[in-house]
Amino acid sequence: MNGTKARGKVLVCRHAESSSESKIAKSQVVKEAGGVGMVLIDEADKDVAIPFPIPSAVVGREMGRKILSYINNTRFVFFLPV
């Protein structure tokens, strides 16, 4: 992950695995890259509290699609796959 692009930003990430530990690891990668928050697109565990090391939100595929559509149609905002 490019720390220069991630620094100070809230990153949108997709999650394919089902364990909460890998979600926590993903948020740790975002934190180490300088990200200040994460929106995680994942259908599983949307209603489960996960102790992320940075401010985070878990959204389903449909909401994730809307967020990505907004990002891709707005200037000066970047989607960084993690």
Q: Kindly report the pTM of this predicted structure.
A: 0.79
Extract the tokens encoding 46.
């949307």
Give the 3-state secondary structure of residue 42: coil
When the pLDDT of each residue in the chain is averaged and rounded to a whole number, the result is 85
Query: How far apart are alpha carbons 24 and 68 in whole angstroms?
Result: 21
Percent of the chain with pLDDT over 70: 83
Residue 5 near residue 80, CB atoms below 8 Å? yes
Q: With 70 as the cut, is the pLDDT of residue 39 above it?
A: yes
Query: How far apart are alpha carbons 55 and 74 in whole angstroms?
Result: 23
